[in-house]
Structures are given as C-alpha cells and as structure tokens.
Structure 1
Amino acid sequence: MKRHILWLLLCCSLGLHAQINPNPNPFAAAANPGEQLTYRNPVIPGFYSDPTVCRVGNDYYLATSSFEYFPGIPVFHSQDLIHWEQIGHGIDRPSQLPRGINIFAPTLRYHKGTFYLITTNTGQGGNFYLTATNPAGPWSDPVWIDVPGIDPDLFFDEDGKTYVISSEFKLFRIDLQSGELLTEGKQVWYGNGGRYAEGPHLYKKDGFYYLMTAEGGTEEAHSECIARSNSIWGPYVGNPANPILAHANAAGQNSLIQGVGHADIIQAHDGSWWMVFHGYRKSVGYPAHHILGRETCLAPVVWPRNGWPVVNGNGTVTVAMSCPTLPLKPVVAKPTRDEFDAATLGADWNFIQPPTADAPFFRLKDGALHLTGLPQQISTFGASAFVGRRLQDLQFTASSSLQFDPQTENETAGLTLVNNGQHFDLLVKKSGNDRIVYVELHFGNISYRSKTATLKPGPVQLMVACQGEDFTFAYTQDGFEVPLEKVNLRFLSSETVGWFTGVYVGMYATGNGQPCRDEAVFDYFDYQAN
C-alpha cells in the first residue's frame, strides 16, 4: 500500500514539475509569453552575409559581402542598430574591379574622418581596401595589399599604428597611404580548432587585445570564438568558454535561425555592447534547407571589465528578441512595387557580374525596364541579361507585366529564381506562329520543361511565389490566373546548389547561345511578403 502511495506522489510531483517547467531542454531558455518583444531577427533579411559594423557618433554603418553580384558590398545606415537603410555600395563602378567580382567578407572601419572597407575579391585579384569620406560613396578605386588568406581586418591602435590580419592569423603593420606592408607577417594565433577559420576582427578593451573569428564552416557548425593577449603581437589565448556564439548545440538546436557566426562587435553610444552576425532561417525543417542565404542578425553582449564578452546570456539568439534596445529610430518602408520611373535602378537591384560597356542589355524608358538578351544564359561568372533582387521572406509573391514579341524562336524572357548559377525560369518565347509561356528548371546539366500554354496578343502578367515548401509559377491574361508548375524549394536551396549566396528573383532575357534583337519590356516589378 505504501509503495502505491509513494508511486502516486512521485507521478503527481513529476506532473507538477512538468507544468512548472515545461521546457524539456535545460540548455535553452524557456519562452516567456509575458516578455515584451523589442525587435526581430534578422534585422536585415535576405542574403546580406558577413556583416561588419562601425559607429560615428550616434550613427551606425554596416556592410556585407556580395560575391558575384554587382553593385557589390552594400552599405547601410542606422541610428538604433535595428532599423537599417541601404545608402550605397562600396563597389559601384565596373572599373573598380575590371577582371570580375567575387567579394567575400568585408571589414568596415572609421578612422580620423575616413571610412575604410577592406575585403577579398576571391580568384580575381586578392585582398584590397577602399576609402571614402562619405559611406554612401563614392568609394575609391582598390588599393591592393599582399596579404595571404581571405576576409582581412584593419585595426587602428592608440599609438597611431595600423595593422592588418586575415583568416591565416598572420599580423602585419601596414602603411594605409600606399598599401605597403611594413613588417613581416607574424602568426599570432591558430584559432580555436574549428575548421575554416574566417572573418577575424581585432579589438582593444581594458588593456587587452581581443581577436575574434568565425569557425566551423558556414553551415550548422558555424560559430564565433574569441582570444586575447596583452600584446597585439600575441600570443593570443582562447576564451575557456568558446564558442561565444553557436547554434550547433542543445541550446540552439530548435531555433529557426541556424548557422550563426561571422560576427563583429560594436559599443553603442550609450555604452552598451552589441554583436552583428549572420545566420540563416530554415525553410525546411529536417534536414534543414534554406533559400534566403545568410542574413544579418543582432544580439546584445555583456562585456565586463577585464572579462570575456557574453552573447545574449548563453550564446544563442531567437527570432523574437526581448532585450532592452537603443531608442528606436524606424526608417521609411519601401514600396512593394517598382514602377521603373526613376532615372536609375534602386539600391535593391543587382546584376550578376558588372555589365560591360560593349554589351549593354538594359535601359529605363517610359516607366519600364527594357532588357535585350545576351547570347549567354544565367551563370555565376558570365555576363547575362539579368536584373534581380534578393528574396527576403520565407513566403513571398513576385510579379511583373511583360510585353515581349520575339521574331525568332531562340529568344526567351521572363521571371527567374537563381542561386549559384542554377535557375528556375518562367518564360515567354515564340513557337511557330504562337507565343507560349512555360516553366524551365535548369539544374546542373539537367533541364526540365513544364507544360506550355499559348498566349493571346499583348502583355502577360508573370508570377513566382513561395507557398509552404514549394515555389509556384503562374501567369495571368484577361484577369485569369493559370498555374503552370510547382517545385520543392529544396532544389534551389544553398544545401543543394552549394556555396554562399541566397536565392534572387528577377527579370531576364537570353538568346540561348545566339544574339538577340527584340526587347523584353517589364512594366513594373512587385515583391510582397505573404
């Protein structure tokens, strides 16, 4: 009888404990529905990876990597670290990088009235830096430096000396007027032991030199580690609590945001400390796939005197954040529709590789975007007649009205989703005496064509959307929407196609190996989160 009573009491206590503490993961903070939401991650959604930040007074400036897309190195401004507005690009002229563009992680710093952007054009020249007195631009032509590795960082010490360090953790003094290295490189650290160390940043606080770096690759094992030394030349000793930011653990395993790392730390004008970093939002649960690329996120940091920085208490972050913030300074939301009635394209729009003067393919005229196809189809490093923007939402709808009457059957134009050279096209072309519309999926050496539909004369509205775990493609004429195809988003995710970018959506035209003579006229482009 006593055994039965004890067993009943045990079961009741376990049930009561489950009600009091419903969180089954002792490493993760339990959700508190009473907490006030102060901001949401990512603070800059879409493929804005490898963020770097600096402060001038009460103003904050942030830059990110851009890889094969031009203009390159987008630059943002904020007054609260949460609301960001793009103000320019570090690379906005083809003449700055005439051999092509493949921009890895930058570092943005401000020193004595001048802004510095230092980065790597991988496979196309190496490491260089740009300067500007206004972060919105124009930025200078590159000053090339002979530093090994990628993702270089600039550090301005209190004694007036300037240093550069990259992913190989070799430290050099540098003359910023000429780019000349003033010392031999010295190995000051080997990292915390994680693979693919990258994105180092040097800081000085309380007499210590801190060296922070990302490790583990940019997938689920991504993380941020930190070390320090009494001398800038090292040796640097790692934080016993490394990594200071990671989701490849029990505390972060259930977060919508994964792959966190590649961070930069900033002290705000009120004395608080913050970290900007990238992470990707899962589009599909398990195994995780993502389509938006690595997005810029924000987390609070506690950095006690003579101590190590602690990120958001346990080194993890959530989408919904409830920590105290700077006074909020929202920016004006952009319209969802671009009518193409400005003299130039807005900062959201990109090309794949810089357009060349001898092969112009676009113009803005009469409130429309006019594209004349090039012989090339969309690829990562080749010129193509493509104008696109980043996807920024897990669920979205993008649409445009296209007038395109090609006289030859080789020319096609329409909307496309593209990631690392793989692209899914919703296109219009001539077939015999008709114009037809269909979906074509280009995946490596494999191409798939959907059913076709015959179009009536006049413009056609094209639509690409993400609903659930599928991309959907449809067209509209005379007010009737006709679905054509849907495909699982896994096939265009970064896990499938590889490398470091996110999915773009945009307008394109091509001659499929032959010259083009007919313009594709896009009356508008509309992008909305669902």
Structure 2
Amino acid sequence: MQHFSSDNGDGTYRNPVLHADWSDPDAIRVGADHYMTASSFHRVPGLPILHSRDLVNWTIIGHALARLEPEADFRTPQRGGGVWAPALRHHAGRFWIVYPDPDRGLFVTSAEDPGPDGGRELVWTRPHLLKGGKGLIDPCPLWDDDGTAYLVHGWAKSRAGINNRLTVHRMNADATALLDGGTVAIDGDVLPGYRTLEGPKFYKRDGWYWIFAPAGGVADGWQSAFRSRSPFGPYEGRIVLAQGGTDVNGPHQGAWTTTEDGADWFLHFQDKGPYGRVVHLQPMRWDEDGWPEIGDKGTPVAMHAKPSGDGPVCAPDTADDFATGIGPQWSWQANPEPEWADVDAGLRLACVPGDGDLRHAPNLLGQRLPAERFAAYTELRLEGGPGARAGLAVVGDTFAWIGLERNEDGADLVLRVFDGDKEAELAREPAGDAAHLGVDVDAGGACRFLTGATPRRVGPVFTATEGRWVGATLGLFASTSDSQGSALFGAVRVAEGRSGDYEC
C-alpha cells in the first residue's frame, strides 16, 4: 500500500502537494495536461518529467536526460553539481527544457512529446550548449508575440564570483544560440535588503514583461515579481510571497501556471532539510494595480479548494516490484554501467567495488523520501564471498544502512552509521544468506531500522540529513571489498505513516 496524494477527496487539497524533493519546480499547461520538471543535480537519469490533470495529483512519466555529460566526468557522483534549476516551456509544437550545469554552462533539450506514450519511448534531443561558462544558473526562455526570443539567467557566486543579478539575452527562435552579450536587467545589489536574487522565470502578460524570481536564500527566502515594458528593463518589483506568520519557511522559486478555466496558480518549494525541497501549490490572483497576489494575501495557504481538472487521485510511484524493470522513481548517483543491475525475479544488483562511503557510491540506487512519515520494506538475499555487502540505506551528508555482510563464517545482519566524521557499527548478529529489511521514518527524518518478517527494531534512532542541495535518499546498494557477488532484492513496499499503523 502507498498513499501520498495531498488530495483530501472533498474538493480541497493540503500543502505540500508533493512532500518530496522535487526541487526548483517549473510547470506548464498544454491543453488539459500539466507538466513539471525539477532540478535533479547528480542523479541519473536527470530532468524528471511529471504529469498532472489538476496540479495536485502528479505522476512521474519519464526523464529528459538518460545520462549526464560529459560521460567521463559523471562516472562518479558529482555531489552539488549536475543539473540545477531548469525551465520548461512549450513552443512551436515542442517541449523545451533549458537547464544549467553550473560548472559548464546552459543547455537546451527538446521533444515533441514529454514522455513515453503507449509503450513508445519518446526521445529528447541531445543537450545543446547554449552558453558556456562557470556559474551560469537558472535559465528561462521567453518567446514573444512577434517570434522574438529572449533568455534570462542568474549567477552562482561559488563558480562565477558574482551573484544577486539577473542577465537577459536575445536568443534565436530555435534556442540554438544567444544573439548578444547579455544585459543585467535586475541588479539585486541596488535593491534594499536583497541578497541571492536568482531562479528567474520569464513571462509576458498584457504588454508587461514579468520576471518572477526568488531571493534571500533557500531556507529563509521569499518570492518577488518584477515587471517592465521592455525585456531588458528597467524593472520595478515587489515581494509577492513570504513566510509571514506561517510555518512554511522560505516559500519561493517556482512556476506561475494556469488551468483551462483561466485561473492562475503558483507552484513553489519549501526547504525541509532531510526531505529536500518539497512542493506547495498556491492560488494566485491579480490586484487592482496589476500585480500578482499569491496565497493568502502573500502568505502560503495550508489548504485550499482544488484547481479545475479531472485527474485521478494519484502520486509519484514509490513502491516497486520490478516486474517490468526499474521504475522511474529510482535514480543512480552517477552514470550507470549496464552490469550494475538486472531484473530477475526482483532486482539483482552486482556487488561493485567500493570503500563503503555510500555518499560517493555511483551504484547507489535511490529515490526521494516520499512523505514526512513513511515506512519502506524489502527482502534481500546476498550471494558472494567474504567482503560482499548489500542493504537498505538512508543517505545524505551522513548515512545509515541495514543489510547483510559476508565474512569467512557466513553472513551477518549489520547496522552501520556514518555521522560525518566516522563510521560506526551499531549492531551485528548472525543472519544467514537472506533477511527482511525495513526503515520507519518519522517527523524530522528520524529513522528506525527494522528486520524480520514481523518487523523488529535494530539499533538506535538515526536522524537523516540533507545531501548537497538535495534531500536524503532512500537507497539500495550492493558492494564488495575484495570479492565478486550480487544481491537480489524483492519488491520494495512503501506506505505512508509508521510501521505500527499498518501491515506490510
């Protein structure tokens, strides 16, 4: 069983609509269908594509990047690098994603359709470098009414040495080249109280050019909107969404979109530590002066009437029986090798040589923590000689795992924790070749690891931590120190709530 929808079933929804790390969301509507993409950083495949009919109930339909380039660089996890905040648009009958790699530049990929359809795997174009350079982030295109195209982007101080400013370029119509050197359209350094102005999204409405952009930082920032009669400015701006008296810290960086009936909505993230950047949905209206008003007079709503749309109650997949392959909820920490995984009456992972540091293990197969409280279970059989190990892990800047480890006398069930400085073995007991494994995650990322067909707790509570710009990962792995082997995982069962609330 799994149930992660925020649909209350009575015509209302609750926030967040996605309590998982769909960071820096951007969304559009094409006909009756809404599509979303998000930052994927070092995860492979990258650029997830989600679909909804009502902005509340979402499913994963695929990814725009099968692998990250350059191939050689992404054979090992590039934590904190990879794919940062993308922009998704529909123009001239195609879907377009412009995304940044902060160490390489701004890239474009496009497709006629956003994901698999009727069993046919649809292909996004190979990424094209639109603008090279370090520290270029958060690009967003705009195709004007007369066919003229523009691109806005921000800057990362960690790579470029500058930030807090937004640059606008002219762009050719097919998004293959920029046509000028760029103009600083909005300089946050001259705006009182502004810092870390970034994440721009470009729009046009009633003759006004709009740049929606967050500022103030991931955990404590706010959302601003800027308007001008020219894409290059000058722009006037206002803060249009902030925490106020709510418990939603840093509500910002997202997408303005509309439903078929013309209603306006805004999707944004909230940083929740080990859960990553979870996604909220806010109603949006325009005041008498033509400025957007988001949420409840500029503060986030906890619950609201649903947008129009006829979609079913659903949520991104989390559980997986691997009957038809590895589901789209899973990703690797680097470009995978074909021998790492096979679907064979479950999921078979090859034991890949490694030093035991799961933060840097390219073959960790993981997914986002799907809810504030949930439990996940699987069964494991370990095959291989001494040094082979495999298990179920929660990985951020720290990590913990429960699983099997082979030694000269057989296999033991072990629980190991890395606290950021050193690894400690917190439990070990004889187990044989197979074991039931589980983890029960409570509010704040409190993890209780479990074993047994009737789950029992093993070891103390481990508190999950975020990774490098991402939330913690629920992962499966198989590795070895000095021998070959493999690990066969059964179906992964995931359900909302705690393990004591239901049977698995």
Q: TM-score range by the shorter chain?
A: 0.7 to 0.9
1:217 — aligned with what?
A: 217
In structure 2, the residue corresponding to 1:291 is in which secondary structure? helix
1:433 — aligned with what?
A: 409
Larger deviation, residues 325-334 vs 439-448:
325-334
- Give yes or no for contact 2:390–2:487 (8 Å, CA) kept in 1: yes
Which of 329, 337, 362 is matched with 1:384 structurally?
Answer: 362
In structure 1, the residue corresponding to 2:492 is in which secondary structure? strand
Tell me, in whole angstroms, the C-alpha distance in 2 between the residues paired with 1:407 and 1:303. Answer: 66
- AA paired with 1:308? W
Is 1:270 the counterpart of 2:261 in the alignment? yes
Using the TM superposition, give the Cα deviation of residue 225 of structure 1 relative to its aligned residue in structure 2, in angstroms: 0.6
1:157 — aligned with what?
A: 144
1:84 — aligned with what?
A: 58
Deviations 1:144-189 (A, max 9, x none): 1226621111011111111111114111111254622212211111
In structure 2, the residue corresponding to 1:524 is in which secondary structure? coil
Using the TM superposition, give the Cα deviation of residue 406 of structure 1 relative to its aligned residue in structure 2, in angstroms: 3.1
Larger deviation, residues 333-342 vs 257-266:
333-342
Using the TM superposition, give the Cα deviation of residue 524 of structure 1 relative to its aligned residue in structure 2, in angstroms: 1.6
Which of 359, 364, 369 is matched with 2:343 structurally?
Answer: 364
Tell me, in whole angstroms, the C-alpha distance in 2 between the residues paired with 1:217 and 1:184. Answer: 27
1:411 — aligned with what?
A: 388
- AA paired with 2:396? N
- AA paired with 1:76? L
Is 1:349 the counterpart of 2:312 in the alignment? no
Distance verdict in 2 for CA 1:54–1:178, change over 3 Å: closer
Gaps of 5+ in 2: 1-9, 75-80, 116-121, 155-164, 498-504
Tell me, in whole angstroms, the C-alpha distance in 2 between the residues paired with 1:211 and 1:94. Answer: 29
- AA paired with 1:135? P
Q: TM-score, normalised by structure 2?
A: 0.86
Tell me, in whole angstroms, the C-alpha distance in 1 between the residues paired with 2:288 and 2:49. Answer: 32
In structure 2, the residue corresponding to 1:140 is in which secondary structure? coil
- Give yes or no for contact 1:406–1:429 (8 Å, CA) kept in 2: no
Tell me, in whole angstroms, the C-alpha distance in 1 between the residues paired with 2:18 and 2:314. Answer: 14
2:501 — aligned with what?
A: none
Tell me, in whole angstroms, the C-alpha distance in 1 between the residues paired with 2:73 and 2:286. Answer: 43
Is 1:322 the counterpart of 2:304 in the alignment? yes
Tell me, in whole angstroms, the C-alpha distance in 1 between the residues paired with 2:151 and 2:175. Answer: 14
In structure 2, the residue corresponding to 1:279 is in which secondary structure? strand
Deviations 1:242-263 (A, max 9, x none): 2x1111x3x22xx2x3231112
- AA paired with 1:366? A
In structure 1, the residue corresponding to 2:491 is in which secondary structure? strand
1:68 — aligned with what?
A: 42
Is 1:128 the counterpart of 2:117 in the alignment? no
The one of the two structures with greater contact order (alpha-carbon pairs below 8 A, sep at least 6) is 2
Distance verdict in 2 for CA 1:199–1:379, change over 3 Å: farther
Deviations 1:21-47 (A, max 9, x none): xxxxxxxxxxxxxxx761122222211
Is 1:401 the counterpart of 2:379 in the alignment? yes
Distance verdict in 2 for CA 1:165–1:55, change over 3 Å: same
- AA paired with 2:233? G
Is 1:202 the counterpart of 2:202 in the alignment? yes
Is 1:171 the counterpart of 2:165 in the alignment? no
1:4 — aligned with what?
A: none
Is 1:187 the counterpart of 2:184 in the alignment? yes
Tell me how many residue pairs correspond in the alignment: 460
Distance verdict in 2 for CA 1:338–1:226, change over 3 Å: same
- AA paired with 1:440? R
1:451 — aligned with what?
A: 427
In structure 2, the residue corresponding to 1:180 is in which secondary structure? coil
Tell me, in whole angstroms, the C-alpha distance in 2 between the residues paired with 1:140 and 1:336. Answer: 28
Tell me, in whole angstroms, the C-alpha distance in 2 between the residues paired with 1:353 and 1:103. Answer: 12
Which of 445, 456, 465 is matched with 1:493 structurally?
Answer: 465
Distance verdict in 2 for CA 1:62–1:361, change over 3 Å: same
Larger deviation, residues 51-60 vs 193-202:
193-202
Alignment map for 1:31-110 (pairs within 5 Å): 38-94=12-68, 99-100=73-74, 102-110=82-90
Tell me, in whole angstroms, the C-alpha distance in 1 between the residues paired with 2:428 and 2:148. Answer: 65
Deviations 1:162-221 (A, max 9, x none): 1111114111111254622212211111135422222101111121111111111111x1
Using the TM superposition, give the Cα deviation of residue 116 of structure 1 relative to its aligned residue in structure 2, in angstroms: 0.6
Larger deviation, residues 460-469 vs 109-118:
460-469
- AA paired with 1:180? A
- AA paired with 1:175? N
Deviations 1:387-429 (A, max 9, x none): 1211111111111111114311x22111100114x32111211
1:16 — aligned with what?
A: none
Deviations 1:492-516 (A, max 9, x none): 323xx5x32111112101224x4x4
- Give yes or no for contact 1:405–1:435 (8 Å, CA) kept in 2: no
- Give yes or no for contact 1:195–1:216 (8 Å, CA) kept in 2: yes
Percent of aligned positions that are identical: 26
Which of 281, 292, 296 is matched with 1:298 structurally?
Answer: 281
Tell me, in whole angstroms, the C-alpha distance in 2 between the residues paired with 1:154 and 1:120. Answer: 12
Alignment map for 1:519-530 (pairs within 5 Å): 519-530=486-497
- Please, what is the CA RMSD of the aligned residues? 2.2
Deviations 1:17-76 (A, max 9, x none): xxxxxxxxxxxxxxxxxxx76112222221101010111122111111111111111111
Tell me, in whole angstroms, the C-alpha distance in 2 between the residues paired with 1:201 and 1:96. Answer: 27
Distance verdict in 2 for CA 1:335–1:176, change over 3 Å: closer
Whose radius of gyration is greater, 1 or 2? 1
2:98 — aligned with what?
A: 118
- Give yes or no for contact 2:318–2:329 (8 Å, CA) kept in 1: no
Tell me, in whole angstroms, the C-alpha distance in 2 between the residues paired with 1:103 and 1:201. Answer: 17
1:22 — aligned with what?
A: none
- Give yes or no for contact 2:26–2:37 (8 Å, CA) kept in 1: yes
Distance verdict in 2 for CA 1:468–1:178, change over 3 Å: closer
Is 1:258 the counterpart of 2:233 in the alignment? no
Tell me, in whole angstroms, the C-alpha distance in 1 between the residues paired with 2:316 and 2:176. Answer: 39
In structure 2, the residue corresponding to 1:77 is in which secondary structure? strand
Using the TM superposition, give the Cα deviation of residue 318 of structure 1 relative to its aligned residue in structure 2, in angstroms: 3.5
